Amino acid sequence: MEHEGTAGIHRLIARRFPWICAILIHLSLYAALTDMSTTDRAVLKGPKPIAVDIIFEHLTRAAGESPEVNTIPAPAAEQPLSASPDALAALPESREPSEADPPSKGPETNAAPPKRIWVTATRFHAGEVLGAPRSAQARAALATLSEAERREQLCALEAMEQVRRAHPGFRPTRLVPHAIRNSFRKENAVVAPAAAFRSNRLWYEIAYRCQLDETGTGVTGFEFALGDPVERSLWDELGLAATH
């Protein structure tokens, strides 16, 4: 009786063996396909693209710079610019100081704020800064940008260098050409009617006109005018970071 029971089980297994094999094969294929699908999704998702943002902070620092100050240095030996009245008119009008403005360390007076003065550069420094050995990384980063972005960045670097050399009290570390009004290109020139630069963790208005050569790789003319400090309450709205 026991022998007949065992034989029956063997016959049942023999009849069902193809089905069992088919089920095992299907389960294996399902597991493999599920794993491949998960892998594909992980590959396709990928990291988010990184926006290119060149910051020339380490390029604009030089040995022997004056200590950081938060007051606005007075312009020295500057001549008014008569060649670009359109850019001068595009600057924001003078305003009364706000509570967010840095306190002045000079004597208090009731005199009106000085009229903004345009400065025409006689020497250009972006090429010199970028040509230094320490600027290899910045040169490589510039090479990855489009022509328009490369022109914008080159003129931004020139603007920071001009401010730093003309006003030693400033230590520009970043410049946003389109902070208050959009910059634009006019033939071989980049015009920023209302940009902003950061110095000593404060933001200041600046307007400039940057003339480039035919290749767009060298500065051949530059003029700028400094404006008022940007009110701290406007920094977030204008995308101006206190650090970074």
pLDDT of 4: 58
Determine, yes or no, domain membership for 12. no
Determine, yes or no, domain membership for 2. no
Determine, yes or no, domain membership for 224. yes
Which DSSP string corresponds to the chain? Answer: -HHHHHHHHHHHHHHHHHHHHHHHHHHHHHHHHHHHHHHHHHHHH-PPPPPP----TTTS--TTPPPP--SPPPP-S-----S-HHHHHTSPPP----TTSPPP-S----PPPPPP-EEE-SS--HHHHHHSGGGHHHHHHHHTS-HHHHHHHHHHHHHHHHHHHH-TT--EEEEETTSSS--EEETTEEEEEEEEEEETTEEEEEEEEEEE-TTSSSEEEEEEEEEEEPPGGGHHHHT--S--
Determine, yes or no, domain membership for 17. no
pLDDT of 116: 75
Q: Average pLDDT per run of 10 along the chain, which is 244 residues long?
A: 56 61 56 46 36 44 36 35 36 40 41 69 92 88 90 94 93 92 92 94 95 92 95 92 78
pLDDT of 68: 33
Determine, yes or no, domain membership for 34. no
Task: Give the number of domains in the chain.
Answer: 1
Determine, yes or no, domain membership for 45. no
Range of the domain at 190: 85-93+116-238
Determine, yes or no, domain membership for 7. no
Determine, yes or no, domain membership for 71. no
pLDDT of 143: 87
